[in-house]
A = this chain, B = another copy of it.
């Protein structure tokens, strides 16, 4: 009895090819599977038979009677929605958002709560764990159906230690958020930062669908970028790529939480913009109110957002010159503000090489404040699928 046969590996490869194709393109007939994989109908039939008895695929009713005109209608075979669910957890600076999704990535339940995430790391993780358990209970899903959790943290993670870099979030020093949450929920937990997961979400579900090289920039209480190259997230040698917020744009600017002075983030992130606008208004401003004002065409708001966009766009122009991306997707709470995006576009056109500027789309993200939690779900699904 051959043990680790290469032939078995071949069979396995072909099985994977079939399931991958079904995952990528949805239900399909055996004949189509054969054509697209290059395998013979016989082989596909045999593979599908195995997958069928193993319960990995199901035969849906014969879709449409035929394709071209005549002929026997195919029996469509579809990927069986795997049992179990995954959770996405988005730890923002001031909120905890949790989503429950089936393994096809369709979000079934979602919930947001306010929390002081920055200050009390372990408290926030307690809340997140409670929220996941609560959502499971509310949905009537047994706890052991939970297969994996993806988590979004508002700070860069070291690739090796998976810890948050000391210093940037005081309440998180030397904490590994993934390990902590894993301890609380007893399932695999995978963590990444907000910009990376926002990029992942826009790449799989949003404005960057189908793109290969994309820069996602998140503009909210901080400023960060998620960089997608060749269709995959670029995390860098130690996992801290994308720190676009700490480009220094003035020698003697405000002191930043990173320790430097004059970081871009101190000049364009939400707190600074509110600070700039507040004196001109009687009412207390919030990010939501600013977005309303911008939508109504308020001149001061437009000016401030546009200026911020230009500053960000200048940094993105340099990055675009280096990376030559297809698209820049603007996310975060301010990502939908038109003057901001217009400002970025203008600065990219002004400062990037003409050919580079011409090649790059600049668009708002399509997923809004749900981007991070959807990215966390995608992360969890990706890791479950990878085994």
The 0/1 profile, CB within 8 Å of B marked 1, for residues 346-373 of chain A is 0000010111100110000000000000
Q: Is the CB of A322 closer than 8 A to any CB of chain B?
A: yes
Q: What copy number does this chain have within its complex?
A: 2
Main secondary structure of the interface of A (DSSP, over half): loop
CB distance B353 to A244 under 8 Å? Answer: no
A141→B22 CA distance, assembly (Å): 53
Known contacts A6-B10, A6-B39, A258-B353: does B325 contact A237 (CB below 8 Å)? yes
Q: For this complex, into which size category does the number of interface residues on chain A fall?
A: 35 or more
Q: Is the CB of A105 closer than 8 A to any CB of chain B?
A: no
Q: Is the CB of A212 closer than 8 A to any CB of chain B?
A: yes
Known contacts A6-B39, A355-B165: does B242 contact A322 (CB below 8 Å)? yes
A213→B255 CA distance, assembly (Å): 31
Known contacts A10-B7, A237-B359, A354-B259: does B324 contact A244 (CB below 8 Å)? no
In A26-54, which residues have CB < 8 Å from any B CB?
A: 38-39, 43
The residue from B235, B247, B259, B356 contacting A240, defined by CB atoms under 8 A apart: B356
A residues with a Cβ closer than 8 A to B are: 4, 6-7, 10, 14, 38-39, 43, 156, 158, 165, 212-213, 225, 227, 229-230, 234-244, 246-248, 258-260, 315, 318-319, 321-326, 351, 353-356, 359-360
